Structure formats: C-alpha cells, structure tokens
Amino acid sequence: MQPFVYNALPARVIFGWDTSEQVADEVLRLGCKRAIVLTTAQQVSSGQKVLKDLGDLGVGIYSNATMHTPIHITLDALKVAQELQADVCVAVGGGSTIGLGKALALHSSNEKKLKQIAIPTTYAGSEATPIIGQTEIDKEAKSLKTTQRTLNVLPDVIIYDINLTLTLPTQMTTTSGLNAIAHAVEALWAPEANPIISNLALQGIKAISQSFPLIRKDPKDPKGRSNALFGAWSCGTCLGAVGMSLHHKLCHTLGGTFGMPHAETHAIILPHAVAYNAPFATDEVEEIRIALNLQQGISAAQGLFDVLENNNIPCSLKELGFKQEDLRRAAEIAVRSPYPNPAPLEEEKIFHLLSNAYHGIRPAI
C-alpha cells in the first residue's frame, strides 16, 4: 500500500425515501429559524413542497437560480435573503440551484453567514463538494467562469430523497449521470488520489452505469433510481476530496466562456477526455472499463460514448449549438494556466480533442 493523505469533509448526509420531509428538523438542528428555499423557475413546485414541509420555519422562495451561477443573480438572491432575514437557505434542484446556495454562503457576511441545506434532484454531485464556479463579465464584456475551492461553500446538510428524482426525464438522467461519472473518472488519476476515494469512485461509476438500462426501461425503477442517486453522492464526494484535470477544465471553459449547457457538455466531452489521457493512465482507464462492465475490445472512452448513442443523447458539441470557429479559442483558454493532468497539455492535441467532440466522432482505441 502506497502512502497517502485523505481529508474527510464535514457534512451530514441523509439518504432514503421521503427524506425531504425531515427538512424542518434539520433546520432546527442547525440552530436556524428562518429558511429561504432556492429553486430554478422550472422547479418552483418542488420548492413549494419543501416550503410546506418547513412550516413556520419557511420565509419564502427565490426561484431564479441560473446555470453557471452568474454573480448578478447571486447578489439579487442575497438581497432577497437579507430582506427576509433568512439564516439558512434550502437549495432544491440540480447544480444551478445548489451553486446558488453555495454562492449565498460565500457572499454573506461572516457575522450573518447563511447556512446551507442541499436537496438534490439530479445527479450532478455539486452538493458534496467545497467547490464553487461563478460567472462574471470581464472588462471586454465577455463571460468568464472562475472556480474556487473553500469549505465556506460546503453545504451543512445534504438530504437525498429518491422520490424527488423519479420524474427526472430519462435524457436528463443520462447527462446528469455522466456528469457525475466524470467526477469519479478524474479522481482516479488526480495527484491527491488515495485508496479510499479511488474505491468510492469505482463504486460510483458502477452504480450509475448499472442504473442507466434500468431507468431506460422504467423511469421509476426503484433500484435504478436509488443506485443513480447513491452513485451521484459517491462521485460528488470524489470531486470534493481531490483535484480535477483536463475534463473539468474544458467543461468550465465551454460553459463559462461560451454558455454551453452544463450536464450535456460534460457528457459529450467525457469520452474524448478519457481517450486523451488513456495512454498515460492505462491502469486507471482499465479500472473504469471494468466498472462500466464493457465487453473486451471496447475501450472505456468508447463505452462512455456509446452511453450517449444508446440513450439518444446529443453526441456532438455541434448539436448543442457550439460554433466551429470557437474551437481554437476554447483550446487556447484551456491551456492558459497549468493544472495537473496525466497526459501533457498540448494546445494542438486539445484542439483535436475538441474537434472530435464538435463532430461527435467515436473515440478510436
């Protein structure tokens, strides 16, 4: 056994069926009395149910959570939270909503720092991480996404309620699940990799990949949904414990700078990022292949690409509306600042990776 360092994150996790009904007890456990519920415009009904479960502890809903956590949305939500004298935010939804909860915790004053309860309804895994990505407008009026890691944004409580995921559309289930798998994949070759997180990463990959055919056959399959949500926690915990590499850098570039949709972009980039790193991380890629339960002769990268095709998910950046003329700029941004990655970061090779992803070309072995 090689020497390693592992830092466990302080968080309370509640997992099961109908667990969101315990939200009022969790607010009181945190010593709070005034909870604001956060949602996107599309998930107000879910937020209203949680507000009802909060009873007298609920003070209102803010329903304008937005993808990539724009700063101006955060400041607007913070103003509303302050006017309502909220002392805790309850984020109900996916990465956009949970990201807003993190941003409120980060930007609230130390004296009146908002505590956080996250109730995920997708498999993005952001709730399990001390990482926040925010989008700002630079001096040239261009969108720029920045990422930081700080325990100040780690939710105090995560409530996983399998019931809240039963109506998640099958396509969104797949893209969100692949987004989660990306966290686990990169955790395997992170500089801080350790046997605890590596085992959790493989367990998460296996759980989510096994859930796909079950949910495709029956979107409300209890085993499929519970496996997917457990896998999301596993993969999110990996993202929170170790650093990420090329895949996440590319997705943050495409999302923050070019406005690409978060989960779909992760799903499309993942097979190509795995193929890029495969010659320099052969053991880890073989472990991924085994966790995905792929037949001999199908690489991990190919297996991940096939998940897209088998579930009628867009396989190319072109299908998402990305402009071919922006490929070069995206490659340039991706190599601007050094970061750890198994394979050397070469702009021309990354441009080739992005070109393959743009056209939806299945990775070669």
Q: What is the pLDDT of residues 314-339, one digit of tens each?
A: 999 999 999 999 999 999 999 988 78
Identify the CATH number of the domain in which residue 65 sits: 3.40.50.1970
| Domain hosting residue 29, numbered range | 12-165
Residues 129 and 154 grouped into a single domain? yes
Q: Are 262 and 97 in contact (CB under 8 A)?
A: no
Residues 61 and 146 grouped into a single domain? yes
**Residue at 232 is within a domain:** yes
Q: What percent of the chain has pLDDT over 70?
A: 97
Number of independent structural domains in the chain: 2
Choose one of 165, 185, 204: the last residue of a domain. 165
Band of pLDDT at residue 259, cut at 50, 70 and 90: confident
**Residue at 133 is within a domain:** yes
Residues 189 and 260 grouped into a single domain? yes
Nearest to 275 by CA among 340, 173, 363, 361: 363
Nearest to 225 by CA among 181, 171, 167, 290: 167
Residues 104 and 77 grouped into a single domain? yes
Residues 217 and 347 grouped into a single domain? yes
Alpha carbon distance 348, 338 (integer Å): 16
Residues 148 and 233 grouped into a single domain? no
Nearest to 10 by CA among 115, 141, 155: 155
Q: What is the pLDDT of residues 141-163, one digit of tens each?
A: 566 777 888 999 999 999 999 99
Alpha carbon distance 362, 354 (integer Å): 12
Residues 129 and 212 grouped into a single domain? no
Residues 80 and 63 grouped into a single domain? yes
Q: What average pLDDT does the chain have? A: 93
Residues 267 and 155 grouped into a single domain? no
Residue 241 CA from chain centroid, whole number:
14
Choose one of 120, 146, 165: the last residue of a domain. 165
**Residue at 4 is within a domain:** no
Q: Is the pLDDT of residue 140 over 60?
A: no
Q: Are 101 and 38 in contact (CB under 8 A)?
A: yes
Residues 187 and 214 grouped into a single domain? yes
Cβ-in-10-Å burial (0-12, 13-18, 19+) of 3 comes to: exposed
Alpha carbon distance 259, 308 (integer Å): 21
Q: What is the pLDDT of residues 179-232, one digit of tens each?
A: 999 999 999 999 999 999 999 999 999 999 999 999 999 999 999 999 999 999
Q: Is the pLDDT of residue 116 over 60?
A: yes
Identify the CATH number of the domain in which residue 241 sits: 1.20.1090.10
> DSSP string spanning 49-101?
HHHHHHGGGEEEEE----TT-BHHHHHHHHHHHHHTT-SEEEEEESHHHHHHH
Between the two ends of the chain, the Cα-to-Cα distance in Å is 31
- From residue 90, alpha-carbon distances to 44, 64, 130, 240 in Å are 13, 14, 17, 20
Query: Residue 256: what pLDDT?
Result: 79
Nearest to 206 by CA among 181, 236, 240: 181
**Residue at 5 is within a domain:** no
Residues 112 and 193 grouped into a single domain? no
Residues 218 and 332 grouped into a single domain? yes
The residue-averaged pLDDT of 66-79 equals 92
Query: Residue 363: what pLDDT?
Result: 97
Q: What is the CA radius of gyration of the chain?
A: 20
Choose one of 146, 165, 184: the last residue of a domain. 165
pTM to 2 decimals?
0.89
**Residue at 7 is within a domain:** no
**Residue at 241 is within a domain:** yes
